[in-house]
Amino acid sequence: MKRSRINQIMASADEFIRSFGISLPPFAWFTPAEMRAGKDRLSRVIEGRMGWDITDYGLEDFDRMGLFLFTLRNGRLADLQNGRGMCYAEKLLISRHDQLSPMHRHRVKAEDIINRAGATLAVQLFGSDARGDFDPDAGGTVLCDGIARTFAPGEVLTLAPGESVTLMPGDWHAFWGEGGDVLIGEVSTVNDDLNDNIFRDPVGRFAEIDEDVPPLHLLVSDYDRLL
């Protein structure tokens, strides 16, 4: 992805989020120079990979297959492993109209995917085989706002604003905005995007960046390289 396109997506995402009366935290607006100068003060933000996350899954077609994410808070894997402390994470996501987030599951993370506002959120579901691999013939059961719901292989759940689905490790899922753009909330156990995502098809979790212009704000995938 071109950095100029990423900068534009940041601006349009902020406008969309603000249209629902929601604001991003102050660290969202730090410049790269401010991030570098404040590395010690921002160590938990950087270590937790909190902040902007814009991906085209390495396929260079963001409008067709891509996702905007902002990690608002993220706990420590050590706390999760110890079973106490800050074991949770929270994100805001934007799924644009018919923009696919491809089929994947998580090794460890359990998550609530919540339609916060906008259009309908469509979530396609499959179960796993005994090894946790994708099984086109497997269904399963998820919780929708605390109520058990059985799904057939490949069934598409449609979530209106205010509705949610709870996904456990092994629940294969893909999602997109249906009928318009959707503001999504994600509440989960500690988030580890470097190691916890398993995709059905060979895609990358993060975008490859063409630095055609300077970044307005860093992506979480920039931290190791630019800080």
CB 137 within 8 A of CB 75: no
- Which domain covers residue 134, as residue numbers? 3-226
Note the maximum CA span of the chain: 52
Q: Measured between alpha carbons, how far is 23 from 39 in angstroms, rounded to an integer? A: 23
Dig out the tokens for 65 from the structure. Answer: 């297959």
pLDDT number for residue 118: 98
pLDDT number for residue 47: 96
- Residues β-bridged to residue 94: 68, 183
pLDDT number for residue 4: 98
* Domains in the chain, number: 1
Which residues touch 14 (CB under 8 Å, ≥6 apart)? Answer: 24, 28
Which residues touch 74 (CB under 8 Å, ≥6 apart)? Answer: 48, 49, 50, 89, 90, 190, 191
Considering just the CA atoms, what is the radius of gyration of the chain in Å?
A: 17
> Each residue of 112-145: b (16+ CB within 10 Å) or e?
ebbbbbbbbbbbbbbbbeeeeebbeebebebeee
Q: Where are the beta strands (DSSP E) in 96-170?
A: 101-106, 111-126, 140-144, 147-151, 156-159, 164-167
Q: Measured between alpha carbons, how far is 167 from 120 in angstroms, rounded to an integer? A: 18
Q: What are the pLDDT digits (tens) for 103-148?
A: 999 999 999 999 999 999 999 999 999 999 999 999 999 999 999 9
Give the three-state DSSP class for 148: strand
Q: What are the pLDDT digits (tens) for 60-108?
A: 999 999 999 999 999 999 999 999 999 999 999 999 999 999 999 999 9
Q: Is the pTM of this model over 0.75?
A: yes
pLDDT number for residue 165: 98
Q: Quick one: what percent of the chain has pLDDT higher than 70?
A: 100
CB 114 within 8 A of CB 86: no
Q: What are the pLDDT digits (tens) for 181-211?
A: 999 999 999 999 999 999 999 999 999 999 9
pLDDT number for residue 163: 98
Cα-based distances in Å from 42 to 46, 94, 178, 223: 6, 25, 37, 11
State the alpha helices, DSSP H only, in the chain. Answer: 3-18, 32-37, 43-47, 77-82, 223-226
Question: Environment class of residue 183 by beta-carbon count within 10 Å: exposed (0-12), middle (13-18) or buried (19+)?
Answer: buried
Provide the CATH number for the domain around residue 191. Answer: 2.60.120.10
Number of neighbouring beta carbons within 10 Å of residue 214: 10
Mean pLDDT throughout 39-51? 97
pLDDT number for residue 62: 97
